[in-house]
């Protein structure tokens, strides 16, 4: 993939949460790219880290380690990896120093330690500096939240909700704001007269359209859609998906589409990444993933998709994913590898060879 084609790059991203004395790894070393103009679907069961991924990219959460790049500019970086590198270097220095045979060797070890510490401290300062630069992130990436009721302030009118980003950005002319709000309402299928109403006066589908309007009025490069249809009636879901698809084409948007409904993701996405317990376990183009799933967890997810066919449903067999039975990582640690062109899977050396045989 050419570097110029990539809008968003997520590199070894980790997000850990403190739970009492323990640590919960919501995201654990996740890497992927999103190309300009594409819809990148992110799927997995509840709790796998999909929403955390979106919130960390848009900087609602601070990354623990790893990096996020937008259009070639680093917008987020976690410092933990650099701190751990300093800690490991000091430990290694003490061990090597005990075995050093002469003063020349000791000086060399000390020089290498100081160089490593300096490099990583500079990296920490650079990460903090990049994390503070939030001024234009909201203009370039916007998020559509899962619950349209909870994400809209009930005390603000629709006009105030949609115009809030413009005001934060510095727009002060009321006429200009009103014109943009009315035009955006029309774009998402609402009326100018809706601007003076409050969120509780709308249906769930209409509230989600307000959330979409709030996002696109900022003219972003990218939209993160966090399960935007999961809280809506099935009859309304198709309308919202078609609206997003139309906006993507007319406005040239790039979309990170987070969902657990695989049927919707297949319809809307160009490529799909599958997450399990904070890790990305498979990534491929939409048609390739559905026609040739390789990872056992992906096959388990696909086996759970219901079809409006009573004969098929009567004979459908669910595949249960039990990691301890299908993987043996005691000797071989897994890594994210390309099995075929554009098709990546988390696997060990032995699994890699087995997957390669299935696609050749």
pLDDT, tens digit (0-9, with 9 covering 90-100), for 56-111: 999 889 899 999 999 888 988 999 989 999 999 999 999 888 888 788 888 999 99
Beta bridge pairs of residue 141: 222
**Model confidence over 234-273: pLDDT tens digits?**
778 888 888 998 999 999 999 999 988 788 888 889 999 9
> What's the average model confidence in pLDDT over 172-193?
91
Residue 32, Cβ neighbours under 10 Å: how many? 19
Q: At what angle do helices 80-99 and 103-132 cross, to 10 degrees?
A: 180
DSSP H or E segment with residue 144: strand 141-144
Identify which has the larger pLDDT, 129 or 13.
13
**What percentage of residues in the chain have a pLDDT greater than 90?**
52
The domain segmentation of the chain, as residue ranges, is 36-62+139-273, 81-132, 285-359
Residue 148: predicted pLDDT: 83
Beta bridge pairs of residue 16: 25
Q: How far, in Å, CA of 270 to CA of 278, rounded?
A: 22
| 3-state SS assignment for residue 19 | strand
| 3-state SS assignment for residue 221 | coil
**Model confidence over 310-347: pLDDT tens digits?**
888 888 888 889 888 888 888 889 999 999 999 999 99
Residue 134: predicted pLDDT: 60
By the 8 A CB rule, do 214 and 165 touch? yes
Q: How far, in Å, CA of 302 to CA of 316, rounded?
A: 11
The DSSP symbol for 294 reads -
Q: What is this structure's pTM? A: 0.88
By the 8 A CB rule, do 286 and 64 touch? no
254-258 and 222-226 beta bridge pairing: parallel
Q: How far, in Å, CA of 173 to CA of 177, rounded?
A: 6
Residue 136: predicted pLDDT: 67
Residue 233: predicted pLDDT: 79
Residue 170: predicted pLDDT: 82
Residue 3: predicted pLDDT: 56
> What's the average model confidence in pLDDT over 143-154?
88
By the 8 A CB rule, do 197 and 205 touch? no
CATH annotation of 36-62+139-273: 3.40.50.300
The DSSP symbol for 201 reads G
By the 8 A CB rule, do 61 and 52 touch? yes
Q: pLDDT tier at 51 (50, 70, 90 boundaries)?
A: very high
- Lay out the sheet containing 141-144: strands in order across: 141-144, 222-226, 254-258, 39-43, 271-276, 279-285, 343-347, 335-340
**Model confidence over 185-238: pLDDT tens digits?**
999 989 999 999 999 999 888 999 999 999 999 889 999 999 888 777 777 888
Residue 137: predicted pLDDT: 75
């Amino acid at each position: 993939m050419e570097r110029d084609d990539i809008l968003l790059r997520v590199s070894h991203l980790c997000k850990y949460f403190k739970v009492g004395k323990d640590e919960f790894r919501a995201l654990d070393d996740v890497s992927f790219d999103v190309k300009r103009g594409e819809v990148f679907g992110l799927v997995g069961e509840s709790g796998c880290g999909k929403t955390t991924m979106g919130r960390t990219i848009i900087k609602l959460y601070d990354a623990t380690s790893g990096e996020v790049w937008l259009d070639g500019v680093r917008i987020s970086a976690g410092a933990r990896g650099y701190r751990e590198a300093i800690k490991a270097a000091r430990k290694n220095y003490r061990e090597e120093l005990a075995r050093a045979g002469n003063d020349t060797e000791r000086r060399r070890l000390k020089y290498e330690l100081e160089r490593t510490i300096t490099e990583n401290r500079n990296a920490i300062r650079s990460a903090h500096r990049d994390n503070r630069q939030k001024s234009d992130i909201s203009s370039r990436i916007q998020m559509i939240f899962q619950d349209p009721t909870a994400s809209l302030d009930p005390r603000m009118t629709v006009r105030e909700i949609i115009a809030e980003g413009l005001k934060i950005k510095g727009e002060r002319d009321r006429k200009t704001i009103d014109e943009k709000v009315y035009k955006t309402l029309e774009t998402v299928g609402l009326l100018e007269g809706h601007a003076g109403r409050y969120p509780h006066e709308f249906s769930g589908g209409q509230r989600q359209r307000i959330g979409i309007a709030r996002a696109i009025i900022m003219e972003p490069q990218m939209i993160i859609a966090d399960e935007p249809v999961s809280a809506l009636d099935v009859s309304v879901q198709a309308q919202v998906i078609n609206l997003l698809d139309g906006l993507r084409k007319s406005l040239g948007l790039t979309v990170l589409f987070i969902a657990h409904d695989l049927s919707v993701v297949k319809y809307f996405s160009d490529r799909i990444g599958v997450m399990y317990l904070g890790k990305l376990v498979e990534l491929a183009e939409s048609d390739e993933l559905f026609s040739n799933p390789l990872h056992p967890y992906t096959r388990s997810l696909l086996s759970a998709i219901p079809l409006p066919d009573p004969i098929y449903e009567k004979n459908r067999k669910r595949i249960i994913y039990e990691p301890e039975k299908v993987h043996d990582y005691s000797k071989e640690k897994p890594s994210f590898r390309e099995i075929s062109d554009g098709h990546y899977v988390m696997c060990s050396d032995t699994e890699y060879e087995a997957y390669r045989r299935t696609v050749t």
